[in-house]
Structure 1
Amino acid sequence: MNNILKRHYGSSAKKITFMFLITTLFFNIFLNAKTFATELDVAPEITSEAAILIEEGSGRVLYEKNQDQIMYPASLTKVATAIYAIENGNLDDIVTVSENARNVDGTRVYLEAGEQVPLKKLIQGLLINSGNDAGVAIAEHLHGTVEAFAPHLNDYLKEIGLENTNFVNPHGLFDPNHTTTARDLALLTQYAMKNDTFREIFGTEELKWDGETWDTTLITHHKLLREQPYEGVTGGKNGYVQQSQQTLITTAKRGDLSVIAVVLKGPTQKVIYNDTRALLDYAFANFHMVSIPKGNEYKTKERIYVTKDIFAFPIAQNEEFKEKITSDGLLKIVNQNEEELLVYPTSGLDITEIQTEKEVKAAAVEEKDPLVTLNGFTLVSAITILGIILFLKLRMNRIRARRF
């Protein structure tokens, strides 16, 4: 009997031990998985004073730090000058370089006074090699002087949606009134990237340059494009003046997710590139694209709204979304916590007014019999009634005549 009990309890103990080990193993895996997911969901620590990360197509903000703080952009200004020149100039125009452009301070492509250069080539020198002389030559070609150029540029920037930007020159050399924000720079880049010419130049890694006194190969100053390549980076621009410290714009794409990262006032180049990598890592690890199809219908009591095109936007891995039509007819996207993700304007929707029940019935009658007159009587009905009245009148006249 003792041997039987010993065998029984010994076997149970092994089973209990085995189950304990299996449970512990799964518990640890679960904890590690939860910890990993939590780490991915944590926003990055950014050292630079201001930063923003947006999805390029929708403009949804994925991360921000002091996005509306007034800052000095340095050479990030050249993104504005480039897209303005592309859209308002003739790329084949031949620009004659002035002495003023030749003598500008800072980074240059070593233009000579009197040198004649195509406008597109100046834009390439402006973005790829950050040529301040190219910026002045562009401004003078378009509007005569740098001073005359600035108001036109600012009006243009307001038209495309920048609310807190004031530029006084085409290159970004320091001026206390030459200011912008991280948000505005992200919106500027988002707009500019829709232009094929800008997108091509912005992503150019190197370009053969044959100048009057300077033959070389221009190499992009953006390290993530060439020196320290980051998977998916498609373009970028860096900047520096003492008052702005280090500044950087970066565009990147993996799969169908395209993002724009802006970092401002980093103390060193190492910091701005580390901050940018952290932002890009955060985007590609945590977000994916979803879409609302063309033809999606939303109905209110008064109207029917139908999407004209596909609306694509990013959501986080554990995020859900739903659509709402506002009282102003805007399509609002919110998450499961009712937090606003995006708002699409009515320009992206076809709108149909819903008729009242009375209007629907009236329309049905009109469609059935086009001879509708006031009070809903048809012309045929009116003639019939008139005929009956005349017939009765004649009948009464005959009766009266017989009596007399």
Structure 2
Amino acid sequence: MDDFSKKAVVMAIAVVSLTIAIISSFSIGNVVYPIKSILKNDKNENYISKNIEENAQNTIDDEILQTLKRGASGAVCIEASSRRVLYEDGKDEVCYPASTTKVLTALIAIERLSLDKIVTVPKIAEGVEGSSIYLKAGDTITVEDLLFGLMLRSGNDAAVTLATEVAGGIDEFASLMNEKAVESGAHNSHFVNPHGLHDENHYTTAYDLALICATAYENPDFVRIVGTKQRKIEVSGEARYIANKNKLLKLFEGANGVKTGFTKKSGRCLVGGAKRGDMQLITAVLNHGDMWNDTVRMLNLGFDNYEMIPLDNALLTKGSNVVKVKVNQTVTPNWQNVKYPLKKDGSEKLVVEFV
């Protein structure tokens, strides 16, 4: 093993700050994107760091960009584990999210409630306007079945029931939503309710929504629920059969989520998810009539043009004219478990620099 190899191995074992660099021919802008790195906390437990700065811009060639139909107020496609943006068009434009809000609602409920807990539907949840699973005050239902009703049928009554069970009220739950959004990296959003019914102060961006969804996809129960096509639930002992409104599950190979949305003010919205091999993509389009086709186009662009490269492959790679990605926390790299999406055509190379 040469001196360079020895030095790389030794420093990978130690607690280090590292810089990941990408050799790229694209023009560079200053955009913040995160990537997952394996860390240890003070209890020696694994946890995830997403605090990374990347100098990057739209990473799809202009010619390919033209294949996407324009018109969305906001559109983005990211790779979930790294949060790298593979395509964007107005990703930071503020829009109304409608029922895609429920991605965040579901995530908080899953994290804070036992799925098998039986809850009683509160009066405030009965008769909520919009989509519903027809709950009545006093009905009993498990948290898990509420989540299926929330994410498959977009039940606003299920959203209010979960919010009340978690936090005791809508305002209190909204505070938790905003905290979780910021924790996920969504800094241009504000939520005031758990269902997404229109409110001038309830807004997000395609990029923020994708980041929230990427956080949700780290939870296996969330992934299982949003990828379910049909389900039997029980309300006060009565069986009900529900089907998922998300047509993407049938339209696209590998689709595994996540949520539709619509109000007159928001227009048509869709957060999409699909996994092929070790690559999980997440898309978000807000205020867009052709949401299904453009979601499929973005997913195809991602899978056709990118592949996941283990960071350990980059240890002995040398290069110049690099675009630097700075990890701004001290980390102990676990190279076998961390991958990054790069273009299949070889125009990008990973280089690891230790500082």
In the superposition, the TM-score normalised over structure 1's length comes to: 0.65
Q: Is 1:255 matched with 2:283?
A: no
Q: Superposition RMSD on alpha carbons, in Å?
A: 2.6
Trace 1:229-268 onto structure 2 (pairs within 5 A). 229-266=251-288, 268=289
Distance 2:62 2:175 in 1: 48
Shift of 1:87: 0.7
Q: Does 1:124 align with 2:124?
A: no
Q: Secondary structure at the match of 2:335?
A: coil
Q: How does 1:284-363 map to 2 (within 5 A)?
A: 284-293=303-312, 296=315, 307-310=333-336, 311-318=338-345, 319-325=347-353, 329=355
- 1:98: Cα distance to partner? 1.4
The answer as to whether partners of 2:74 and 2:89 remain within 8 angstroms in 1 is yes
Q: Say yes or no: does 1:68 pair with 2:96.
A: no
Contact 1:297/1:305 (8 A) holds in 2:
no
- Residue deviations 1:331-376 (CA, integer Å, cap 9, x gap): xxxxxxxxxxxxxxxxxxxxxxxxxxxxxxxxxxxxxxxxxxxxxx
Q: CA offsets per residue over residues 115-163 of structure 1, 9 Å max, x none? A: 1111121111111110000000011111111122111221122223221
Matched position secondary structure for 1:239: strand
Secondary structure of the corresponding residue to residue 127 of structure 1: helix
Match status 1:283 vs 2:302: yes
Q: Contact between 2:145 and 2:234, CA under 8 Å: does it hold in 1?
A: no
Larger Rg: 1
The equivalent of 1:99 in structure 2 is 123
Residue number in structure 1 paired with 2:177: 153
Unaligned runs of at least 5 residues, structure 1: 1-36, 299-303, 330-404
Structure showing the higher helix proportion among its residues:
1
> Highest relative contact order (Cα 8 Å, sep 6+), 1 or 2?
2
Question: 2: CA distance between counterparts of 1:322 and 1:148?
Answer: 44
Are the equivalent residues in 1 in contact too, given 2:76–2:85 (CA < 8 A)? Answer: yes
| AA of the residue aligned to 1:313 | Y
Instruction: Indicate the SS of the match to 2:193.
Output: coil
Q: In structure 1, the residue corresponding to 2:92 is in which secondary structure?
A: coil
- Alpha-carbon distance, 1:257 to partner: 2.4
Once the two structures are superposed, what CA deviation does each residue of 1:172-204 show, in whole Å capped at 9, x if it has no partner?
A: 000000011111111111111111111100101
Which is worse superposed, 280-289 or 101-110? 280-289
Alpha-carbon deviation of 1:312?
1.0
- Tell me the percent identity: 37
- Counterparts in 2 of 1:79 and 1:41: CA distance versus 1, 3 Å: closer
Give 3-state SS (helix, strand or coil) of 1:225's partner: helix
Aligned to 2:203: 179
Deviation readout 1:62-95 (Å, 9 max, x if unpaired) = 0001111111000000000001011112222221
Distance 1:51 1:296, change over 3 A: same
Shift of 1:210: 3.0
Once the two structures are superposed, the pairs formed by residues 197-212 of structure 1 within 5 Å of their partners are 197-212=221-236
Mark the runs of 5 or more structure 2 residues left unpaired by the alignment: 1-60, 318-329
Aligned length: 282
